[in-house]
A and B are shown apart, each in its own frame.
Chain A
Amino acid sequence: MIDSSYDVIVIGGGVVGCAAARELSRYDLNIALLEKSTDICAGQSRANTAIIHGGYDAKPGTRKAYYNLKGNMMFDSVCGELDVPHEWNTSLVVSFSPDEDSQIDELYQRGIQNGVPNLEIIDHDEIMRREPNISEQAHKALLVNNGGIVCPYELTTAYAENAAKNGVTFFRSSPVIAIRKENEGWVVDTPEKSYHCKAIVNCAGLYSDEIHNMVSEDKLEIKPRRGQYYLVDKKYAKAFNAAIFQVPTVMGKGILVARTVDGTVLLGPTAEDINDKTDKRTTAAGLANALEGARKTWPNLPGRAFITEFSGLRAHCTRNDFIIGEVTDAPLFFDAAGVESPGLTSAPAIGVDLAKMVAEALHASPNTKFDPIRKGIPKFRELSNEKRAELVSENPDFAKVICRCETVTEAEIREAIRRPVGAVNVDGIKIRTRAGMGRCQAGFCTPRVLEILSEELGVPLETLQKSEAGSRYVYGKIFD
């Protein structure tokens, strides 16, 4: 039995899926997005290094190289339309011994081949002038002037909100368990419902192989590659200006020291090939590697600076490139598979291309009512006192600071729940407002955030989850 029918179903609510959904909503199409987790932005998009990569790293001629540069060039317009914080703070790829210098030259040449503008090679003195806290061993560096940073959660939720505004229907907690060809289209099964559609866009990240393999004989394999990180208190936001890379290895771009748009500093990631796509543990060995790597860049890294540790899984495809486009033996099934780093940077461009491919195949006309603009939730912490006073007079909930460390107000938290594709759990509040992301790591604000969620969603507090089903906080009232 079919519960509902769409022109297009996007599978996966990470940054690529949400970008694709939003770009598809520029066309006169009936679109749904299915997300396996309780919330969008649950996989790679939630745990990554938050870099807008310049595009020097990928092998020339690959889709990674193509989408990286194309995506990079879209960030000003996309972040402008969607009100997403980003910053062009440049990247530096640094050699820490003369032995590594040749790799800097190779990256420079590769960047030129990829069409990356304004690359420069700088020497020790210039590195030290730009980055006084970097190791004295810094020898030579590739200065990537088009390198930047972006808030990955806000980019993802902003794409989703704008997609929803333009008519895309989101179904969360809806893992796809089967796909069948039926009646001139596809039937997509989730445990509770079945959906019919004309075209499918596979943006399932780590699981994009499994989704692809449901319809194609040309099998894909995604190997999860785990990266562990430390997060440093924003007290050290000014330690480095650029995102600092070390020379890359076969496993990836190495350990970075990279400030986020919110002022915290990420150290990592490690790169470990693992077998379990749900194994997001941090390990003593992994954290030690991340720290040792970061100290190579930042020898005076303070020992008590950390506020948390986490790991993310990269969707590494054994074919070593992004798989983008219509699948040869499955017409009207489109892949965005194996999108690992630089996936965040590439997402805007992948979204546009996928939408074009699908629209052409379905002969869709433009959506004349498409509105590209999304306004973010006001960030009380970043506003002037005049603007703050204005907000408080309009809505007194702006006067109630719930998260002390990040100065997040009750108004922001309530809005994060009320928005389209809004927060349904504690981590959802966190990625949309930063409540709980600061130095106390949610010690003070958790009880109040639970109360607000309970009120807004109209559910008992004891049913609320941290993120996935089974991650509840409390076991009911002590006394009835």
Chain B
Amino acid sequence: MSDIKSDNKRDNKGDSKNTGQTSGLDVLMPGHEYDGIQEFNNPAPFWWQLFFYLSIAFGVGYFAYYQLMGGPTLKEELTVKLEKIEALQVKSHPKGADESVLMAVMADPAKMAVGQKVFGEKCAACHAPDGGGLVGPNLTDNYWIHGQGKLLTIYEVVEDGVLDKGMPAWRNILAEDEILDVVGYVKSLKGKPVATAKPPQGDLVSE
């Protein structure tokens, strides 16, 4: 240790700036030497002080505006934004559908292909890839819990979900066209052969 300390002393003695000054840059604190470590008493940089005062001023101003002067709360800001989003949703995706539109979907192979693709991506996890039912009910038999086997009611279930039973609402996830297409595709599944059919749930619907 002692050799390091003497090194230190030699270094500082050789530094002409340190001798005899009482102000300005690189003035050593008298008597401050700890295990050979000395301390200058340089002022804090101007920009450092400036930004410190600015950050305090910002803090005081921000707190005052939001907590004392009636600035909007997080909840108020959220409410405004949600209203805008809801307006967009209603405008772009009006409630309800026309049965004839759904009939047209079923007659259009291109749209049915889209429906099949959407079904594979979103529905198959619960209803099985062939619609035979898994977590959710079998969509190929004649028994219906909510959809009653009709295009418009199936459409409502897909749009709004059956939240208590774990069927999600898809209207804010899928586009309007995608919902129409997948509803058409679901309707077309009736009577198709399946690998494993989930036992019937709901009421027998005969058309």
A binds B: no
Query: Which residues does A use to contact B, with CB under 8 Å?
Result: none
